[in-house]
Structures are given as C-alpha cells and as structure tokens.
C-alpha cells in the first residue's frame, strides 16, 4: 500500500484531521500509542485535550528522551508530555526512557523489551529537516532498535531554543530505533513548514535510503502523512 499523503494548507484543519485519525484508531481498538514531542505536536495535544477522547484504558510509549535529564527537568520529554497531554488526558500507563539511568545501554534494552511486550497499535511522528524520525539521524541503520544516540550539532542547535543556552542541551538521547517504529500497526507523520519539504519529498518519492531515515516508512503498509505543503 502506498503512503497516503493528505495536503491540508490550513494548520487548524490539519490538526483537526490528526485528532480525527487518532479518535478513529482508538475507536477501532488501538490500545498502545507511540507518542512524539516537539513544537509540531503542541497544537495537536492542545486539541486532543479539548476532546472527549478517553485514554484511561490505553498505554503510551514515547519515541525518545534526553540522556542526563531528570524526569522533572523543565526540558525533559517526560515533563513535556505531562504538561501538554498527560495532566489533562492521563493514560493507564505511560512509558519513557529514564534519562537518569546509570547504564544507558541497559536502559535502552529495557525500553525495547517493554515495546516488544506491548506492541504499538499507533505511532505518531514528526520529521526533521534532515529526515530524522525520533532521534534517528541520517545514517542510522534501518535495522536499529531502541538505542542511545549522539545528537548531531544541527539537532542540538535546533533544540537549543528550548534551553537557556546551547551548552545546556544534552549531547545524548534515547530513541526508539527504526525497526521499533516500523512495528507499529499504523503510523501518522505530521510535516509542517517549508523546511520539511526536501525530506518529505524523499519519502513521497520512495527514495529508500538510510541517509533520510523517514524513507524507511516506504516499506510500511499503513502510513498517513499530513502536511501543510501544497504541491
């Protein structure tokens, strides 16, 4: 099945469509939800919080988390999720890697084991300017599972806007691997803004290459892409 691309110029309408997709998969029995963070997801979570969708019987797994940040740190993804979603829409259980784990490699393996025990019904994704999904940067093996990554200078610079300075941005992060993501039954990718056009076009063109991690999705049977980029 080809990737389904829906081009919706209005961001308001695009996020409403994303909410409708999540509501639909939940109604169809989705129980485990893979979630993402970042500026792209904030309007989506705000809209979800205004709905009657009940996640209290569902389980969530986050794509990634910084290594070295306490879960209560203002810029941890644990804190982000509670602020933008969980405090308003609690799940039965919500899993994120432990940023303060003493052995990061063992923590990555623990998280991957949890994902295998509770397979994802749905995965939400954004896309980086360079085509990264999660923190899987260009060159990441398509066979990768949850692992620790060294954040590239460009990724740290992009994320520095959330910190007081670039120096405060962690150098490492946990991320679901490409294979971890591809195991989800349904994947929704949201691409907002002109800066995402090149990466998105590689995905739409079926340019299957590890230099653009998102193109791994071309081998998945059930991917929906929502974008405000018109042809």
User: Can you say whether the dihedral through the CA atoms of 184, 61, 82, 169 is positive or negative?
Assistant: negative
What pLDDT shows up at residue 154?
A: 82
Catalytic residue numbers? 64, 130, 132, 137
The CA–CA distances, whole Å, from 135 to 60, 61, 68, 106 equal 18, 15, 15, 18
Query: Which is it for the CA torsion 173, 174, 177, 183, positive or negative?
Result: negative
Angle between helix 42-49 and helix 11-27 axes, rounded to 10 deg: 60
Confidence of residue 111 (pLDDT cuts 50, 70, 90): very high
Strand pairing class (64-66; 172-175): antiparallel
The whole-angstrom separation of Cα 181 and Cα 125 is: 9
Residue 113 predicted with pLDDT over 70: yes
| CA of residue 175 relative to chain centroid, distance | 9
Confidence of residue 152 (pLDDT cuts 50, 70, 90): confident
Q: Which of 123-127, 135-139, 149-153, 183-187 shows the lowest mean pLDDT across its residues?
A: 149-153
Question: How far is the first Cα of the chain from the last one, in angstroms, to the nearest whole number?
Answer: 21
pLDDT score for 103:
96
Whole-angstrom distance, CA of residue 82 vs CA of residue 135: 20
pLDDT band of residue 1 (cuts 50, 70, 90) is: low
The pTM assigned to this predicted structure is: 0.94
pLDDT at 159: 86
pLDDT at 19 over 70: yes
Range with the poorest average pLDDT among 2-6, 24-28, 110-114: 2-6
166 DSSP assignment = G
User: Which of 11-15, 72-76, 78-82 has the least mean pLDDT?
Assistant: 72-76
How far is residue 111's CA from residue 115's CA, in Å, rounded to a whole number? 6
3-state secondary structure of 13: helix
Give CA separation, 154 vs 63, 129, 158, 173, in Å.
19, 10, 6, 14
């Amino acid at each position: 099945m080809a990737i389904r691309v829906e081009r919706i110029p209005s961001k308001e309408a695009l996020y409403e469509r994303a909410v409708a997709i999540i509501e639909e998969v939940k109604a169809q029995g989705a129980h485990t939800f893979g979630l993402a963070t970042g500026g792209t997801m904030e309007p989506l979570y705000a809209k979800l919080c205004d709905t009657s969708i009940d996640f209290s019987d569902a389980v969530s797994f986050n794509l990634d988390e910084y290594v070295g940040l306490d879960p209560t740190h203002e810029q941890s993804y644990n804190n982000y999720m509670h602020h933008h979603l969980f405090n308003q829409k609690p799940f039965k259980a919500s899993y994120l890697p432990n940023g303060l784990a003493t052995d990061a490699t063992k923590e990555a393996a623990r998280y991957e084991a949890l994902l295998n025990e509770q397979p994802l019904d749905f995965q939400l994704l954004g896309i980086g300017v360079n085509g990264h999904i999660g923190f899987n940067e260009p060159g990441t093996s398509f066979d990768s599972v949850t692992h620790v990554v060294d954040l590239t200078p460009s990724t740290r610079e992009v994320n520095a806007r959330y910190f007081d300075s670039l120096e405060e941005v962690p150098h490492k992060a946990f991320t679901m691997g490409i294979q971890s993501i591809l195991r989800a039954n349904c994947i929704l990718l949201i691409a907002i803004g002109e800066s995402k056009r090149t990466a998105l076009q590689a995905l739409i063109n079926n340019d299957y290459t590890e230099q653009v991690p998102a193109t791994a999705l071309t081998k998945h049977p059930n991917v929906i892409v929502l974008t405000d980029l018109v042809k």
